[in-house]
Amino acid sequence: MADIIIIGAGVVGCSVARALSRYEAEILVLDAACDVAEGASKANSGIVHAGYDAVPGTLKAKLNVRGAQMYPELTKELGVPYRQNGAMILAFSEDDRATLRKLLDQGIRNGVKELRIIEKEEILALEPQTSENVVCALLVPTSGIVSPYEMAFALADHAAVNGVKFQFGTRVSSVSYREGSWHVQTSQGEYSARILVNCAGYSSAEFHNQMGGEGARIINRRGQYYILDHPDVLPFDHTMFQCPTRMGKGILVAPTVHGNVLLGPTAEDIEDPEDTQTTQAGLDDVLRYARLTWPALSVRSAVTNFSGVRAHEIHEDFLVGKMGEHGYEAAGMESPGLSAAPAVGEMLEKLIAESENLTRKSSWKPAPVHNKPFNEMTLEERAAAVQNDPLNGKIICRCEVVTEAEIRAAIRRPVGATSVDGVKRRTRAGMGRCQGGFCSPRVVEILSEELGIPMTQVRKGGKGSEMLVGTIQEAQEAKAKEMQER
């Protein structure tokens, strides 16, 4: 029996886990997937929204603005790539201008600084690739970009070095409170805890209702994206939005913190929350709308496309707070959930610590320090890195310039990689133009060595995604046996 069980190891669950790791409590994080950030946290736009879009007075507005304010210092502490690049929301008609004025007013009421509406001449001076059809834009200097899954990994690592345990492959089916504790039914049996925190993404409404709430319902909203390879010069420095609709913030054209270009997302309501396929129709929509912003767009440099599913709660606001006896939640965490995650952790830490009389630890270990990525080093830094560890002289991923030392370090992290995808998201090995065509065999071999398992048991991601079906020797023996039987 744990003191605290947190359901969900997305960026919000990891933020809550890290915040609560300051206290004397046995904390267990359960997740159905094989790794941290396997849901919406790995497949979103990576935008730290400033807070102009949220309705004033809502939890979304409050937590978005506070979370965005926390990002610069927090990402520096955790060693996560982050850049405050600013954003523009583009208007292509005078009707759109009215929408921008509404967003400006909302942003000011929410406490967002430096917002202003700029005209076509200034837009094109700042971003010359923008369509000549633009009329005006809302300039948002405090908007930022971050690597969402790297944020989740860093939060999880910091929680883990302070005693939080993570258990994957454990799907929660139901929760109930009886005899003074929470009983959590899972695919791996029953777990119990004095305190329960629901951060379960698309399942969060179901657990909200089981915990004593009512009427919560999640709509699974899929968004499809393109990623373009690193250009010599980024076409846009700002994140370029179009006017939002009732379905979301619309199709964006944005740089990423790693120098790619991101296009998307669509907004499609679907039944299956795990349906992350891409469709020709959806990807066609991405390009059609992205070209309204960037007429010169070409997808000849596209390296991949993907989709993610966000949990849209029908009441249009976050559900964060206390739920019954010793129960708490962060439910319906759609966009701007990534932006709000640090503030959600801060809010629930304070609420739970005070309500449950938790004792603060006398010491709290700092976040683990990770080496500077090899592909960002100067020649002198690279020479020193190789001198320090010769495995830095072995480039495994040519596209993204990732070394063997970095891959082994990713597997050995406090909450380390156990799959090819886990290595990819922690190191970028396999994220380049060949999409792992060159480096995957060696990554499989390293995972086998580090995890002490046969190569045939190494997975791309979750259960059933083994990279290899057998060995050459086994195939030869099977063929010989077949010939003998003939």
The predicted-structure confidence for 404-427, as pLDDT tens digits, reads as follows 999 999 999 999 999 999 999 999
Assess whether 49 carries a catalytic annotation.
yes
**Active-site residue among 49, 312, 326, 370?**
49
What pLDDT does residue 359 have?
98
Using alpha carbons, select from 230, 128, 161, 200 the residue that is nearest to residue 18.
161
Beta carbons within 10 angstroms of residue 135's beta carbon: 16
How would you class 239 by CB atoms within 10 Å of its CB: exposed for 0-12, middle for 13-18, buried for 19 or more? Answer: buried
pTM: 0.96
Which residues does the chain have with pLDDT short of 50? none
Q: Hey, CA dihedral for 436, 442, 447, 448, is it positive or negative?
A: positive
CA 79 from centroid of its chain's CA atoms: 16
Task: List strand residue ranges (DSSP E) for 234-292, in order.
Answer: 239-242, 252-255, 261-264, 268-270
CA distance 32 to 168: 6
